[in-house]
Chains A and B, each alone.
Chain A
Amino acid sequence: MTPETRTATGTPRAAFTGKAPAALNDPRLRANFRRAMDGLMAKRAAQFADPAEWAALRARGTEARARALAKLPELLERLERRCTENGIVVHWAETPAEANAIVLGILQAAGARRVIKGKSMVTEEIHLNAHLEAHGITTVESDLGEYIIQLAGEAPSHIVMPCIHKNKAEIAALFAARIPGQGYTETVDELTAAARRTLRGEFARADAGISGVNFAVAETGTLVLIENEGNGRLSTTLPPLHIAVTGIEKALENLEDVPPLLSLLTRSATGQPITTYVNMISGPRRPGEKDGPHAVHLVLLDNGRSRIYGDPELRDTLRCIRCAACMNHCPVYTRVGGHTYTFTYPGPIGKILTPQIEGLDCAGDQPHASSLCGACAEVCPVQIPIPELLVRLRGEAVHPGPAAVAVKGGGSGYTLFESLGWRCSTLVFTSPRLYRTVGRLAGWFGTLMPGWLPPLNRWTRFRSKPRFARHSLHQLARKGGYDHE
């Protein structure tokens, strides 16, 4: 997928809907996701076996994130001050283009030609690699999953496990084709060893490391970065220059907010009590220290987040700690996989985040791509009311709020046909006599309704036609003597 097809311009409003059938009809993809999500759900469930502990930890985590957002403008200023005191250079980017330009500028000023990257969804969001490559800077992804999809020329299909859509055999074939001297093997140890051999050289040669940030602590100016492979630590300590890129919503007030959120994050994401590496980055190498980068930069990206922040209800979207539990538990995501979502963030969180970042006019079908089953909200460690926000965005798509707080592309989903449909149904449902008449008519003639008639044909494509009862409950209740005060 090229960056062009993934940005707002020119993307059809119904990209998700258009892509879904291909994913549904790909048995290997379906099996890969089902197997992977089943495993992740089981691991998470084992971690939160005690409902009381889950509820208490979740309440703490939610409070910490909610408090941080409530004070976000102030915390961001404090974060900038503390980081600066620690020797971290802070940059503000309103748009992806600005963020890309800032990162490129830092690299060019340092004369950097090769970049090693730790896993970062925000750099995926701004399509940083493509921008750097276009300016002659080589980028190598060092997270194993990211490394695999970079070799394959694909985008992440999951925010924690970017190559979860591939099985072992697919990875084995990819490595054999793309890594010089690598034969075909499905042995996991041999595959990881192959990636490790290549990446070790890249770490050593890199002029700069670029990473994401899990939490940015305002109190101490600390960037918290968690990972399992050590690639995050190498990317942020081995090269002479480290650039961290993150969204402005990642700020936390205090260092003591970190432990409950880390616990929620790793247990929700991969079912691990803690990740193998927890990096607390608090500045460049100091005089007398033997390792660490000579310069550390932090790029804070807005890209629509301020706009989301302006709406007290939609603001809950920004509580997200990117654990991916929502997508792991989503019956829709499990069946269509991450690439169907077209933009960087898939699954339930993507369905509320993408339309707000990119606009309802280009991802307007995503809030509707949900049965509102609520599995996501049930497992969300910071209690984002995802189904409620999906419904809110569905509303924004047809009736935009006041211009000052309107969601980008609000009102773009309005059609006269649908409007008429809802107005007619409202008329029927608010006129009891009319409703009862319609019910009687349905009992007599409902079965004559042709199955090919839209939108009924969308139902009958996969199911038998619903059969109206000969007598409605209204009629039976009256006959049965229930119809009285």
Chain B
Amino acid sequence: MSGREVSGHDVGRDVPEKPEAVYFFGTCLVDLFYPEAGMAGMALLKSQGIRVIFPPDQTCCGQPARNNGWFEQARAVARQQIKCFPKPIPVVVPSGSCAGMMARHYPDLFAGQPDEAEVRAFAARVHELTWFLVHVCRLTPTDHGPPVTVAFHGSCHSQREMGVRDEPRQLLRALANVTVADLQRPAECCGFGGTFSVRQPGISAAMARDKVTDIATSGAGEVLSGDCGCLLNLSGVMERTGVPIRARHIAEFLVERGLAGETRP
């Protein structure tokens, strides 16, 4: 009926040639709460011989406004981002959710707008970090760390909007001393959902607690994710309920295991 993409679809993205330079869109959550994750993401790209450009005028992808139905405001915020990334080079995002907003929802949000074509061209250049590391950089991370067991939580939007399925685990499996624990319900939402977490705090917390239980019983000493929204939610619940499991962005973990002391700024 309508030609729009169903968000449940795995949509294969065209794999670009490994570029000489990329833009990095840090996301507001990483900027304000997890800057180390952003630095690690850029370090990983740099370690692959790619020049990383971080345009200082970037702010937020606009997803909160869009998800709450404030489309005009979301477009204004989106336009501010798009003009920060003018060159036809990839835009790498250390978040499947913010990448999904830019790659999947910007085109819908701008349907019928005068700058729709420009927005579509931009959206096609947006890539999630772990997907980019695996498919474009063909990164095989090295491991200099002690044996550990970790769990990986894939965000809903990374999986269902950006088609990031096995890529993060593929990176982790390449680390010799790292065991990746299986979760009971790896595809189930952690309950963050942006403003959902404050509009429906009880349901959100119930989902988060179930996810924490899943992680805690998996035997993992640490939980990794490619999305800082999930991390903020999970670590908040774990701190409150006294679950001694660290929550970190996967980029930070990969840098610590392999690049620590080398290219880490």
Contact = CB atoms under 8 A, between A and B. Distances in A.
A388 interface: yes
B207 A335 contact: yes
B198 A459 contact: yes
B160 A473 contact: no
Contacts of B206: 24, 335
A204 to B, nearest CB: 45
Contacts of A17: 199-200
Interface in A465-485: 465-469, 471-485
Interface in B19-53: 24, 26, 28, 30-36, 38-39, 42, 52-53
A463 to B, nearest CB: 3
A425 B65 contact: yes
B253 interface: no
A397 interface: yes
Contact of A20 (B26, B33, B202, B210): B202
Interface stretch (A84-92, A279-287, A372-380): A372-380
A378 B160 contact: yes
Contacts of B196: 368-372
Contacts of A425: 64-65, 73
A331 B201 contact: no
Given A398-B68, A462-B205, 13 more contacts: A17-B200, A313-B2, A371-B192, A371-B207, A373-B156, A377-B6, A385-B4, A422-B70, A462-B208, A463-B205, A469-B32, A472-B35, A473-B26
A150 B187 CA distance: 36
Contact of A331 (B31, B191, B209, B235): B191
Interface residues of A, number: 87
11 contacts: A21-B202, A331-B189, A374-B7, A374-B161, A432-B57, A432-B59, A456-B198, A463-B208, A474-B56, A475-B35, A482-B24
B39 A476 contact: yes
Contacts of A66: 1
A442 interface: yes
Given A21-B202, A472-B32, A482-B53, A375 B69 contact: no
A69 B34 CA distance: 47
Closest 8 CB pairs of A and B: A371-B193, A463-B236, A378-B8, A395-B69, A394-B69, A377-B8, A462-B205, A373-B189
A51 B260 CA distance: 41
A477 B26 contact: yes
Interface string A379-423: 110011101100111111111000000000000000000100011
A435 B80 CA distance: 12
Contacts, number: 247
Nearest to B109: A391
Interface of B: 1-2, 4-9, 24, 26, 28, 30-36, 38-39, 42, 52-60, 62, 64-73, 76-77, 79-80, 108, 156-157, 160-161, 187-189, 191-210, 232-233, 235-237, 239-240, 265
B198 A428 contact: no
A429 interface: yes
Contact residues of A: prevailing secondary structure: helix
B105 to A, nearest CB: 8
B32 A442 contact: yes
A482 B5 CA distance: 35
Given A462-B208, A483-B54, A374 B156 contact: yes
Contacts of A387: 7
A319 interface: yes
For B32, B79, B191, the residue with the greatest tally of chain A CB atoms inside 10 Å of its CB is B32
A373 B193 contact: yes
A24 B235 CA distance: 21
B2 A316 contact: yes
A464 interface: yes
